[in-house]
Chains A and B, each alone.
Chain A
Amino acid sequence: MTAAPAVELRGVWVIYHQRPVLEDIDLVIPPGRYVGIIGPNGAGKSTLLKVVLGLIPPARGVVRVFGEPPARLRRSGQLLGYLPQKLMSQPQFPVTVLEVVLMGRYGRIGLGRWPGPGDREAALAKLRRLRIEHLADRPIGALSGGELQRVFIARALVVEPRLLVMDEPTISLDACAQDDLFEMLHDLKEELDLTVLVVSHDIGAVARHVEEVVCLNRRLYVHEPPPIGRLALERTFGCSVEYLFHGEIPHRVVRRDE
C-alpha cells in the first residue's frame, strides 16, 4: 500500500453568501512536496488553505489530509503547522516570544495542564533552529516583521506537524528576506520531512523556490510539465502578467473541462 497523499481534495466547493469561492477543486499533493499556490487577490487561496486545515468545511466535496478528514486528524492529535496571513490581531499582546512559541504545544499538553521542561526545551530548540533564540524573552510586540515571521514559523513547527501550511509568508518581507525565507523553508522541509504548502500572490518569489506550482482563481489550473507558460498564468490571473522568472519550473495544472 502506498502512503496516503498529504493533501487530497476531490470536487471541493466552498460557497459564501450564495457565491462560489472555490469551484470543484481537485488537488492531490503527495507527501514531501514543496508546493506553491499562486493566484490573484480574492482567488480563494486562503480559503483553500483553511479547507485543508479544517477551519472551513466545504459545501461539497471530499477533503483528506494524510488520508483522514481534517477534523478526525485533529482529534487524533496529528496537528498541522499553520502560519496565518495576519500574524497578530493585537500588536501589543502582553506575552513574550517564548510564550507565543509554547502556545504551539498547548494542544498536545492537554487541557488544564502546564507546559513542562520538555515543552520549553522544544520551543527553545525551534527558536534556536530559526536563529532567533536571543529574542526568547522579548515582548512579542517589540519585534520587526521578519522576526515576527520566524517566531510564528517556530510556533507552527513546535506543533510537530507533517504538513506546514503558510498563507502569504512573504508579504511583510523585502526581496532578500523573501529569498532567505523560502530557502529556510526548503531546508526545514528536508530536515523535518515536511510537506509544505505556501500560498502567495507573488508569482516570482514562489516560482523561484518551490517544487511545484498550482494556479488558483476560484478554479484550479494545474498543468503538466512543460513549464508554466504566460498563457496559463494569464488565465489564472485574468490579466496579462509579467514573466518574472527563468528556467524550468516543474508544475502541473489540472484544468477543468468546460
Chain B
Amino acid sequence: MALGFWQRALAAGVVLAVLCGCLSVFVILRRLAFIGVGISHSAFGGVALGFLLGIDPLWTGIVFSAGVALAIEWAQQRGHIEEDAAIGIFFAAAMALGVLFLHLSGTYNVDVFGFLFGNILAIGERQVVQIVVVAVGVLAVVGIFFKEYVFISFDEEMAWVSGLPVNFLRALFLVLLSLAVIVAIYLVGIILVSALLVIPGATARNLAGHLRPMLLVSLGSAVGATLVGLFASAWLDWPSGATIVVLLSLLFFLSTLWSRAK
C-alpha cells in the first residue's frame, strides 16, 4: 500500500493532533507549558547529534530530549535551582550544542529549516510508521495511568500521601512528552511544537468545565486546526506548520472571548 505524499501528510497530521491534543490537557492541568517548550527546543540538540553520528535523528532526539527533561526535573527536585531557571539554561545549552553538532557534522545539506518549522509534506512511509507507533504507545501509557495523572495534576502531595508513586509518574510523563515532541516535529517543527502541546488544552480549559469534555475539545481543536491548516496551506501555498499553529491560536483567542462573554 503506497500512500501519496498528501495522504501521508494527512494521516500523520491527524495522528499527531490526537496525540498532542490528549497530552495537552495534562500539560495545561499540570502547568507544564514551559517544560514543553524546554523539551522541544532541546530536541534540536538531539536531532543535530543524529546527523553528527549518522543515526536516525528520531532516536537521538528522543534520548536527548528525555535526558534534558529528566535533568531539569532532577535539578529542580534536589532544590539546586528553580525550575524556570533550569529550563531556561538547559534548553539554551541544548540548542547551542545542536548548532555545534551541525557544524561538526559538516552536513550543510540538511533541511534545518524543515526541522525548525516542520515539513509534513516531505515525510516518507518510514516516518508515518514511526509517528503511528509512538502515538499508539504514548496514548496507551497515558490511558493506563489516566486516573493517576488526573490525581497528580490535582494535587501531587495528596497523591503521594494516598500511596501513588508520584516521582515515577512525573518522570514517565516527561519521557512521554519527549516522545510526542520528537514525532510532532515532523508536523510543526521544533520551534512551534510546544504550541501543539499547550494551545489545544488551553482552548479546552476555556470551554469545558469537566475533564471528559475538556479532553474532547482539546482533541477536536487539535485535529480540526491540523486538517483545516493542511488544506488551507496547500491551497494558499503557505507553510503548513505555521498555518496550523496560527489556526490553533485563533481558536484559543475565540474561546477566550467566548468564555469571557459567558
Contacts and interface: CB of A to CB of B under 8 A. Distances in A.
Contacts of B161: 53-55, 74, 79-80, 82
B217 to A, nearest CB: 11
A157 B151 CA distance: 16
A109 B164 CA distance: 10
Given A114-B147, A115-B147, A95 B163 contact: no
A90 interface: yes
Given A94-B209, A95-B210, A114-B147, A103 B160 contact: no
Range class of the B interface residue count: 20 to 34
B159 A106 contact: yes
A159 to B, nearest CB: 6
A115 B211 CA distance: 16
Given A79-B162, A80-B161, A111 B145 contact: yes
B144 interface: yes
Nearest to B143: A112
A156 to B, nearest CB: 9
Nearest to A155: B158
Contact of A94 (B155, B164, B211): B211
Nearest to B141: A112
B147 A100 contact: no
A204 interface: no
A155 B158 CA distance: 10
A231 B7 CA distance: 81
A226 interface: no
Interface in B222-254: none
Interface residues of A, number: 33
Nearest to A142: B209
Contacts of B150: 95, 99, 103
A144 interface: no
A106 B208 CA distance: 24
B163 A107 contact: yes
A106 B148 contact: yes
A136 to B, nearest CB: 14
Contact of A77 (B158, B163, B205): B163
Contacts of B205: 94
A100 B154 contact: yes
A103 B145 contact: no
A107 B162 contact: yes
B157 A55 contact: yes
A90 B144 contact: no
Contacts of B214: 94
B154 A112 contact: no
Contacts of A88: 155
A159 B210 contact: no
Contacts of B158: 82, 84, 103, 155
B171 to A, nearest CB: 14
B88 interface: no
- Of the listed residues B147, B157, B205, B209, the one surrounded by the most CB atoms of chain A closer than 10 A to its CB is B147
Interface string B12-31: 00000000000000000100
A18 interface: no
A183 B235 CA distance: 70
Interface in B185-226: 205, 208-211, 214
Interface string A226-242: 00000000000000000
A54 B157 CA distance: 11
A96 B150 CA distance: 12
A10 interface: no
A155 B155 CA distance: 12
Interface string A140-160: 010000000000000100010
Given A82-B157, A84-B157, A103-B162, 14 more contacts: A79-B161, A82-B158, A84-B155, A90-B29, A96-B210, A99-B150, A100-B154, A103-B159, A106-B148, A106-B151, A106-B159, A106-B162, A112-B144, A141-B209
18 contacts: A74-B163, A80-B161, A82-B158, A88-B155, A93-B29, A94-B29, A99-B150, A103-B147, A106-B147, A106-B148, A106-B151, A106-B159, A108-B163, A111-B145, A115-B147, A139-B209, A141-B209, A159-B162
**Smallest CB-CB A-B distances: 8 pairs:** A107-B163, A107-B162, A112-B144, A82-B161, A103-B151, A94-B211, A94-B210, A94-B214
